[in-house]
């Protein structure tokens, strides 16, 4: 009897082991892309292993050449709205926005995440696989211990945030010598949150809306489209919450095309305030302009005669023009409130102007500026 009971227990353990056998080895998961609609190629998959999965190794493997370099997590933020966090496996760059999570290249065991199948020219419906291998598995150190100091990242990086005062969204622009200015693996497509309370911001690489935009090199007067969307009319702000590794004197200008001639310099931590109605995603209103100092790429108004006028966050007016240019500033009533001579190429007036509409006349050129 004792032996019979022992056999029964062994059989039960074996059956349990069959039902709960953990995954190991190479695992392939079918994924598809259909060239219609707004969510082309997005698939929800999961880490099949009871260990961490290194996304940089997944996306670098030749077996996954048909899979994009980006993964997305969808999670609730602190206000209860669902938002996406984005990680690019090629560059290692991440945008979490206000998602209530911290993500890295290490995907937790059994965690679900979104991936995107690359376009296949000539096919309206394309089926392929994403492949996971034991060599892609990792043992993550959750304590953050490091045996050596990581290499310093010297990439120039601009992180933008749009906010309605309660909830925000982010986009990242960075510069890497291995990236191309068009869309490539150093870019991450924008996964729209589709939540009415969440404003959306992104830039554009070629025809692709991107939340992470890897560009090759920073050149003088580099202008890129800046996209915006909101499902609710509201007041908003756009700010630069990170500006790192830029050469001293580099200026990032936000252009609001709704007000021609108005340029706002984004300074780390400052904001541009504006109002907007319900807006579908487009780049019709905003763009970013990078201006780089230097003899070969700097502003050369002395030669070109170009005049620029913009407002900083302290409501001061800056004029860029030829030295000895004559300027005048008028209020909305046409009254001249300040005038003088431009002594150097770039000068910021000390006056902090009240909110309103002003006209700045430099020689024979007039520019309207709006202060809020």
The domains of the chain are located at 21-138, 156-291, 307-371
Mean pLDDT computed over 104-111: 93
Contact 201, 161 (CB under 8 A): yes
> Which position has the higher pLDDT, 57 or 342?
57
Q: Look at residue 302 in the predicted model and tell me its pLDDT.
A: 37
Rounded CA separation 55/67 (Å):
12
Q: Look at residue 144 in the predicted model and tell me its pLDDT.
A: 54
Mean pLDDT computed over 181-195: 92
Contact 52, 107 (CB under 8 A): yes
The CATH classification number of 307-371 equals: 2.60.40.10
Q: Look at residue 295 in the predicted model and tell me its pLDDT.
A: 37
Rounded CA separation 116/171 (Å):
19
Rounded CA separation 162/144 (Å):
30
Lowest mean pLDDT among 15-29, 106-120, 187-201, 338-352: 15-29
- Token pair for residue 24? 């190991």
pLDDT in tens, 311-359: 877 788 888 888 888 888 888 777 788 888 888 888 888 888 888 888 8
Q: For tokens 């050469």, what's the residue?
A: 247
32, β-bridge pairs: 127
Mean pLDDT computed over 242-254: 88
Q: Look at residue 133 in the predicted model and tell me its pLDDT.
A: 97
Residue 292 pLDDT greater than 90, yes or no: no
Contact 65, 129 (CB under 8 A): no
Residue 197 pLDDT greater than 60, yes or no: yes
Lowest mean pLDDT among 78-92, 131-145, 269-283, 320-334: 131-145
pLDDT in tens, 20-46: 678 999 999 999 999 887 778 999 999
Residue 93 pLDDT greater than 90, yes or no: yes
Rounded CA separation 64/62 (Å):
5
Residue 300 pLDDT greater than 80, yes or no: no
- Which alpha helices (H) appear in the chain, and where do they start and end? 2-19, 55-60, 301-304
Residue 299 pLDDT greater than 50, yes or no: no
**How much is the mean pLDDT over the chain?**
84
Rounded CA separation 276/202 (Å):
16
Chain centre distance of CA 359: 34
């Amino acid at each position: 009897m004792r032996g019979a009971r022992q056999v029964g227990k062994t059989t039960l353990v074996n059956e349990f082991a069959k039902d709960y056998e953990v995954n190991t080895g190479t695992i392939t998961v079918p994924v598809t892309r259909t060239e219609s609609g707004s969510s082309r190629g997005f698939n929800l998959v999961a880490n099949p292993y009871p260990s961490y999965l290194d996304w940089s190794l997944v996306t670098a493997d030749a077996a996954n050449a048909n899979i994009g370099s980006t993964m997305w997590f969808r999670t609730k933020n602190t206000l209860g709205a669902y938002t996406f966090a984005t990680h690019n496996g090629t560059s290692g760059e991440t945008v979490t926005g206000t998602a209530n999570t911290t993500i890295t290249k290490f995907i937790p065991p059994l965690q679900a995440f979104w991936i995107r199948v690359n376009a296949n020219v000539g096919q309206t419906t394309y089926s392929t696989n994403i492949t996971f291998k034991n060599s892609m598995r990792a043992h993550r150190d959750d304590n953050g211990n490091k045996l050596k100091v990581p290499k310093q990242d010297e990439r120039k990086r601009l992180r933008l945030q749009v906010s309605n005062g309660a909830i925000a969204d982010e986009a990242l622009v960075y510069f890497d010598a291995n990236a191309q200015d068009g869309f490539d693996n150093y870019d991450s497509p924008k996964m729209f949150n589709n939540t009415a309370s969440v404003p959306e911001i992104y830039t554009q690489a070629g025809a692709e809306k991107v939340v992470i935009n890897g560009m090759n090199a920073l050149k003088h007067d580099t202008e890129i489209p800046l996209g915006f969307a909101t499902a609710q009319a509201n007041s908003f702000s756009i700010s630069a919450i990170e500006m790192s590794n830029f050469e001293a004197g580099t200026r990032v200008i936000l252009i609001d095309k709704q007000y021609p001639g108005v340029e706002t310099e984004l300074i780390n931590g400052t904001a541009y305030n504006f109002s907007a109605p319900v807006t579908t995603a487009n780049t019709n209103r905003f763009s970013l302009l990078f201006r780089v100092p230097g003899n070969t790429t700097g502003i050369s108004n002395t030669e070109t005669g170009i005049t620029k006028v913009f407002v900083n966050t302290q409501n001061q007016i800056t004029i860029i023009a030829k030295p000895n240019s004559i300027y005048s500033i008028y209020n909305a009533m046409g009254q001249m409130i300040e005038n003088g001579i431009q002594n150097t190429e770039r000068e910021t007036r000390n006056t902090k102007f009240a909110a309103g509409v002003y006209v700045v006349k430099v020689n024979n050129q007039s520019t309207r500026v709006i202060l809020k």
